[in-house]
């Protein structure tokens, strides 16, 4: 099936089910499907053809979801753009993706106008909150457009640094997502009566593929939370009787350490599970989350290029790991040989949901896909039961001047066991004379205290002396990307104040 068929099947079977919620706004599957059809027919009337690319530059709202699916129903591919983007980032993405139209909001008009001269293929800019857009849709048919879509047609283009650290378009087809959903939804036990509260941007793979697309398979409900705060999550989960939260470890870490007295003031009995992705989670904090919220914590490891590599589902998960392989997985050393069980190596995987390509970047594509296998650039290890532990990006290994490599996650896990530590990142801070200095950045829990010597002594109880941080810096927060991953590169360049 293609994505258009997935939505239409659900809309026919359960038209009255609530598809999307944000605040007081509620959209049924019938309303959702008909609104998508109007958008699809409208863009077709503008001359958009099957296979064309349409950019989406909007905030996280029901209108984002409806317009994205409208693009897909028109047989076009949606280019998902970050609402925080600046002109120097937006212009090359619109130009290189060969977008012929842009669906956006009026507030982005100055930004869009500034880049239009450099994007000659972009002929149409549709602002969803204007009278002109509403007039266009009013004249458009609510019937399903008669556009043929093959499963292997391009569906979504994500812009991300990806494996190679170069901003580029990652192309996924309709089949990429429908095959991934067939593996994902049963492991999540995502059913019709589920209410999924998403804590992620939609222009990221997890936001679109799981928060937006996942619930549609069985007619579940997606609840949109425009801005994250622990209070917003608790209030929305109580009001909408959310059954599942989907987010990054940073969000769940914040929820895990909420005061018991605060939790008791909310009725959160509907929650049954959380799904964490985007970065390695802490077994300690995920166990705390499970106990305090009486739910099951799941974890998924994937990349924008390869939607799922491993997953710990409702019935098969092990805290502190990213679950068992869902894709076909090999763990290789630098010479391309499989490492012994329990040893660290690069994750190399293949599955039907692998990206089609880096758009217009055949050389870069060939660097990461070899004989159908995707080289992730991630270090992992598998235990005796087949559960995979995500270690870190290969580039994040700390190599001090002595040359003995340090895996950051091992020391971070120890530090997180200290009662005063809320979050930590262990990186090699670059020094012009001493090379990489093993440095732990520490966020303390509110009202707690700890000294540098105390934390070093605490580490010495669990790790070898060479792994003990040479520097410890206390910070208010850790820098993160929008996907929730700690920005280790930024931390590695932080100089002492």
C-alpha–C-alpha distance, residues 479 and 167, integer Å: 19
Tokens describing residue 339: 């490492």
Q: What pLDDT does residue 195 have? A: 98
The answer to the question of residue 156 being in a domain is no
Last residue of a domain, one of 359, 394, 429: 394
C-alpha–C-alpha distance, residues 42 and 45, integer Å: 5
Last residue of a domain, one of 394, 422, 437: 394
Length of the chain: 497
Q: Assign residue 408 a region: left if phi > 0, alpha if psi is -120 to 50, beta otherwise?
A: alpha
Last residue of a domain, one of 328, 363, 394: 394
Q: What pLDDT does residue 431 have? A: 76
Over residues 473-493, the mean pLDDT reads: 87
Q: Widest CA span of the chain, in angstroms?
A: 72
Same domain, 20 and 124: yes
What are the CA-CA distances from residue 236 to residues 60, 119, 222 (Å)? 16, 40, 12
Q: What pLDDT does residue 137 have? A: 96
Q: What pLDDT does residue 434 have? A: 67
What are the CA-CA distances from residue 161 to residues 155, 336, 369, 483 (Å)? 19, 24, 16, 12
Same domain, 386 and 311: yes
pLDDT tens string 2-40: 999 999 999 999 999 999 999 999 999 999 999 999 999
| Radius of gyration over every alpha carbon of the chain, rounded to an integer in angstroms | 23
Same domain, 327 and 203: yes
Say if residue 390 is exposed, middle or buried (CB neighbours under 10 Å; 0-12, 13-18, 19+): buried
Minimum mean pLDDT among 208-217, 223-232, 335-344, 484-493: which range? Answer: 484-493
- CA 203, 216, 21: angle at the middle one, nearest 5? 70
Same domain, 447 and 312: no
Q: What pLDDT does residue 399 have? A: 67
The answer to the question of residue 165 being in a domain is no
Same domain, 102 and 202: no
Query: What CATH number has the domain bearing residue 233?
Result: 3.40.50.12780
Looking at per-residue confidence, does 452 or 285 come out higher? 452
Query: What CATH number has the domain bearing residue 434?
Result: 3.30.300.30
Beta bridge partners of 389: 381
Q: What pLDDT does residue 279 have? A: 77
Contacts of residue 131, Cβ cutoff 8 Å, sequence gap at least 6: none
pLDDT tens string 397-420: 776 755 566 878 889 989 999 999
Q: What pLDDT does residue 395 have? A: 67
Which of the 8 DSSP states describes residue 207? I
C-alpha–C-alpha distance, residues 293 and 408, integer Å: 29
The answer to the question of residue 171 being in a domain is no
Quick one: how many helices (H) and strands (E) in the chain?
16, 24
In this structure, the strands spanning 328-332 and 345-350 are: antiparallel
Over residues 205-213, the mean pLDDT reads: 95
At 141 the three-state DSSP class reads coil
Same domain, 356 and 472: no
Same domain, 365 and 430: no
Return the percentage of the chain with pLDDT > 90, whole number: 79
C-alpha–C-alpha distance, residues 86 and 305, integer Å: 24
Is residue 488 scored above 90 in pLDDT?
no
DSSP per position, 408-428: HHHHHHHHHTSTTEEEEEEEE
Q: What pLDDT does residue 147 have? A: 95
Beta bridge partners of 392: 379
The answer to the question of residue 347 being in a domain is yes
Q: Could you tell me if 313 and 188 are in contact, meaning their C-beta atoms sit under 8 angstroms apart? A: yes
In 3D, which of 224, 200, 186 has the Cα closest to residue 82?
A: 200
Contacts of residue 321, Cβ cutoff 8 Å, sequence gap at least 6: 299, 312, 383, 387, 388, 389, 390
C-alpha–C-alpha distance, residues 486 and 287, integer Å: 21
Q: What is the pTM of this model?
A: 0.84
Over residues 83-94, the mean pLDDT reads: 88
What are the CA-CA distances from residue 323 to residues 84, 286, 372 (Å)? 33, 14, 23
Other CB atoms within 10 A of residue 457 CB: 11
pLDDT band at 497 (very low <50, low <70, confident <90, very high): low
Other CB atoms within 10 A of residue 228 CB: 16
Is residue 56 scored above 70 in pLDDT?
yes
Q: What pLDDT does residue 86 have? A: 83
The answer to the question of residue 162 being in a domain is no
**What's the CA dihedral at 207, 389, 464, 252 to 10 degrees?**
30
Structural domain of 299: 180-394
Same domain, 121 and 193: no
The answer to the question of residue 175 being in a domain is no
Is residue 151 scored above 70 in pLDDT?
yes
The answer to the question of residue 234 being in a domain is yes
The answer to the question of residue 104 being in a domain is yes
Contacts of residue 238, Cβ cutoff 8 Å, sequence gap at least 6: 266, 267, 268
Which of the 8 DSSP states describes residue 358? E
Tokens describing residue 27: 């959209």
Is residue 310 scored above 90 in pLDDT?
yes
H or E segment and range at residue 21: strand 18-22
Looking at per-residue confidence, does 95 or 85 come out higher? 95
What's the structural domain count of the chain? 3
Which of the 8 DSSP states describes residue 338? B
Q: What mean pLDDT is reported for the chain?
A: 93
pLDDT band at 220 (very low <50, low <70, confident <90, very high): very high
Tokens describing residue 218: 């069985």
Same domain, 108 and 123: yes
pLDDT tens string 256-291: 999 999 999 999 999 999 999 887 788 888 999 999
Same domain, 261 and 355: yes
Query: What CATH number has the domain bearing residue 37?
Result: 3.40.50.980
Same domain, 262 and 335: yes
Same domain, 323 and 469: no
pLDDT tens string 121-146: 999 999 999 999 999 999 999 999 99
Q: What pLDDT does residue 432 have? A: 63
């Amino acid at each position: 099936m293609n994505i258009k068929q997935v939505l239409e099947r659900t809309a026919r079977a359960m038209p009255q089910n609530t598809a999307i919620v944000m605040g007081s706004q509620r959209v049924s599957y019938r309303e959702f499907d008909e609104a998508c059809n109007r958008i699809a027919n409208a863009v077709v009337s503008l001359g958009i053809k099957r296979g064309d690319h349409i950019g989406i530059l909007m905030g996280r709202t029901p209108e984002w979801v409806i317009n994205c699916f409208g693009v897909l129903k028109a047989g076009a591919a949606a280019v998902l753009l970050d609402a925080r983007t600046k002109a120097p980032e937006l212009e090359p993405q619109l130009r290189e993706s060969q977008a012929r139209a842009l669906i956006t909001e009026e507030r982005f008009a100055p930004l869009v106008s500034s880049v239009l001269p450099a994007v000659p293929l972009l002929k149409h800019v549709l602002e969803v909150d204007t009278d002109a857009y509403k007039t266009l849709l009013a004249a458009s048919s609510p019937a399903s457009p008669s556009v043929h879509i093959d499963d292997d047609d391009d569906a979504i283009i994500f812009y991300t640094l990806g494996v190679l650290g170069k901003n580029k378009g990652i192309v996924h087809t309709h089949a990429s997502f429908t095959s991934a959903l067939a593996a994902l939804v049963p492991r999540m036990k995502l059913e019709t009566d589920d209410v999924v509260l998403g804590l992620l941007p939609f222009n990221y793979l997890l936001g679109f593929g799981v928060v937006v697309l996942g619930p549609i398979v069985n007619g579940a409900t997606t609840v949109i939370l425009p801005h994250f705060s622990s209070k917003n999550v608790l209030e929305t989960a109580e009001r909408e009787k959310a059954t599942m939260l989907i987010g990054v470890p940073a969000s769940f870490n914040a929820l895990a350490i909420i005061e018991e007295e605060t939790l008791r003031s909310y009725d959160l009995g509907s929650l049954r599970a959380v799904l964490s992705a985007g970065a390695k989670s802490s077994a300690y904090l995920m166990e705390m989350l499970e106990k305090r919220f009486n739910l099951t914590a799941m974890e998924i490891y994937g990349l924008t290029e390869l939607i799922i590599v491993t997953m710990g589902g409702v019935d098969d998960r092990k805290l502190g790991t990213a679950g068992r392989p869902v894709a076909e997985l090999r763990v290789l050393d630098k010479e391309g040989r499989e490492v012994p069980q329990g040893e660290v190596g690069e994750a190399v995987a293949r599955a039907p949901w692998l990206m089609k390509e880096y758009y217009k970047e055949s050389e870069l594509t060939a660097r990461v896909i070899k004989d159908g296998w995707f080289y992730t650039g991630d270090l992992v290890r598998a235990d005796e039961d087949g559960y995979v532990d995500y270690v870190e990006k290969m580039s994040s290994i700390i190599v001090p001047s002595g040359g003995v490599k340090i895996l950051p996650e091992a020391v971070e896990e120890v530090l997180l066991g200290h009662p005063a530590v809320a979050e930590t990142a262990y990186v090699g801070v670059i020094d012009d004379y001493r090379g990489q200095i093993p440095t732990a950045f520490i966020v303390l829990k509110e009202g707690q205290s700890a000294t540098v010597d105390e934390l070093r002594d605490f580490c010495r109880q669990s790790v070898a002396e060479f792994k003990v941080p040479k520097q410890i810096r206390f910070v208010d927060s850790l820098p993160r990307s929008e996907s929730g991953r700690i920005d280790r590169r930024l931390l590695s360049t932080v100089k002492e104040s």
